[in-house]
Amino acid sequence: MISEKRSLLLKEQAKLLALKEYKGIVKSISLSKILTLPIYIVDILTLNGEEHKVKINAETGSILKEKTIPLTKSRAKAYALRQHKGIIESIVLTNKQYEIVILGPDGKTHSVKIDAEIDVLAQEERNIQ
């Protein structure tokens, strides 16, 4: 199997992009993954003392805003499979909520509910910390 190696921005490039959003001092920068998307998370302390977190797509250099990554059916599946390993038996969207049924390797059935209007970036970040 041939895999495509995608080139990522350098940390310094991500830092410069973040500083265009907010002038200040970069406190930290880290490379993370949200679902399958590599992102840089840059923490900036502005001159007036405010702290800002800038998320940058590490492949394209675009600044990620809230709701930037729509929670599509395939993303909901990927998110659910991170919660419970196994095979997806069904996925249903009702009342702005995905309900996903997963058959685990142990033969047990797991039900995962995910808000279809969730902020994937914030949710994934909460799960990482």
Instruction: Tell me the pLDDT tens digit for each residue of 2-33.
Output: 334 567 889 999 999 999 989 999 999 999 88
Closest of 24, 108, 14, 30 to residue 63, by C-alpha: 14
For 105-112, which contacts have Cβ atoms below 8 Å and span 24 or more sequence positions? 110/83, 110/84, 110/86, 112/80, 112/83, 112/84
pLDDT digits (tens, 9 = 90+) for 107-117: 999 998 887 76
Does pTM top 0.75 for this prediction?
Answer: no
State pLDDT tens for residues 78-87.
888 988 999 9
Q: Rounded to the nearest 5 degrees, what angle is found at the Cα of 93, between the Cα atoms of 116 and 114?
A: 40
> Phi and psi for 50 in degrees, rounded to 5?
-80, 145
**pLDDT at residue 118, as a whole number:** 53
Which domains are present in the chain? 11-65 (3.10.450.40), 73-119 (2.40.50)
Q: What is the mean pLDDT of the chain?
A: 80
